Amino acid sequence: MQLPPSAAPRSAYPVDVLPPELRRLLLFLSEAGPPVCAYVYDGDVAADRARELRSALPPWAAVYYAVKANSFPGVVAALAPYVDGFEVASKAELELALRAKSAAAPAVVAAGPAKSVPVLTALVRAEVEAINAESLLELHRISRIAVAEGLRARVALRVNPAEIPVAGSLHMGGRPSQFGVAEPDVPEVLSQALRLPGLDVVGFHVHAVSGNLDADAHAAYLRWCVEWSTRTARANGVDLRHIDIGGGIGVAFEGEKPFDVARFGELAAQVEPPAGAKVLLEPGRYLVADCGWYAAEVTDVKTSYGTSFVVLRGGINHFQLPTSWDIVHNMAVLPVERWPEDCPRPVAENTEVTVVGELCTPEDTLLRDVRVDRVRAGDLVVFPYAGSYGWEFAMHRFLAHPVAERHLL
């Protein structure tokens, strides 16, 4: 059974880690009647993160927000003026990006291992900057659609490299995967792609990093992607204009050192891409993790065989991240004073508690063995760093409880 790791001996965050305007909104919602289960986002926080990363990078680098991390329209709109474009993986994400594009005019690139013909058709018709093609069959499909539409589709070949010779938190390359074309097969795939009438092969997509907090390693990875793409394009007759290194910048949780954006920018500036080639970064989680909070009302506090449980109106049907990524995702308790006078109010004080949800499975556990000063039925439990892979990543239909609301500060 998948459960988050024990938080012991950690204590819950103090309530003042929650911004005052967030506390005011949540307390207002708690007065409205139905039990609170909501995400709250601050678009300014996401915009600040994007500005910080963009300003640290050299002019030849571009920041494209990976919409999958948080597709709430208010967050996407807040990011639009401060990113160079969006990375999308579905028709719905494409439509969302195009709506934001109309206001801020960023570009769009597309990814995903199993793009259907309707998705590819929408991408071709939208004349996106690049479709990151995952296979030879997908290249043929794109070409056939583009010819039928009287267009040439810009494509970048997604590559699964045999080896990435740099240190750090690097994954997703050099092993069997549904993602991209294995490096030994690249020359043959390119030779066919360059002959397809509906394609303009612009470069490569290499996404082999996950959760990297080491700025030096990430800069070395960027350099490797640029040098590999340059060599491979030259060897195979590709007019290289597009080098997409994917995302992978990590978010620091308790006890971890945050990613050093300034250091990464300094090292990236020492790389020299070939003339006319743009280097794309596709951060998702990094831009939006700290712009969001997940809050749920405590419906009960109970003790079973010596363990205190805090039971929420919510759980992994709203916020699945702690059970899926093997992380301690800490919380704060926001006291709510309103409570019926004729009803007992269970409480846990100065003890460790395990925070669980409303689903009929013991896997619905968000946080284990965290020490609290006090938590009562009716209080709100609030999880910071819930702006990425939260609402989008949850099990909305299991038991068919109402989905979490979403609000923009």
Active-site positions read: 360
**Alpha carbon distance, N-terminus to C-terminus of the chain:** 36
Strand 380-383 relative to strand 332-334: parallel, antiparallel, unpaired?
antiparallel
* 243 bridge partner residues: 204, 279
* 348 bridge partner residues: 375
SS (H, E, C) 275-307: CCCEEEECCCHHHHHHHEEEEEEEEEEEEECCE
Exposed / middle / buried, residue 231 (Cβ in 10 Å: 0-12, 13-18, 19+) = exposed
Query: And the tokens for 50?
Result: 């994007």
SS (H, E, C) 240-251: CCEEECCCCECC
* Sign of the dihedral defined by the CA atoms of residues 30, 32, 34, 38, in that order: negative
Q: How far is residue 354 from each of residues 6, 234, 257, 334, measured CA to CA in Å?
A: 9, 57, 27, 17
Whether residue 380 contacts residue 36, with contact meaning beta carbons closer than 8 Å, is answered with yes
Nearest to 139 by CA among 176, 186, 171: 186
Sequence-distant (6+) residues with CB within 8 A of 398 are: 316, 317, 359
Rounded to whole angstroms, how far apart are CA atoms 270 and 361?
52
Residue 245 CB-half CA count within 13 A = 28
Whether residue 229 contacts residue 271, with contact meaning beta carbons closer than 8 Å, is answered with no
Query: And the tokens for 191?
Result: 């030779």
Rounded to whole angstroms, how far apart are CA atoms 383 and 363?
18
Exposed / middle / buried, residue 50 (Cβ in 10 Å: 0-12, 13-18, 19+) = buried
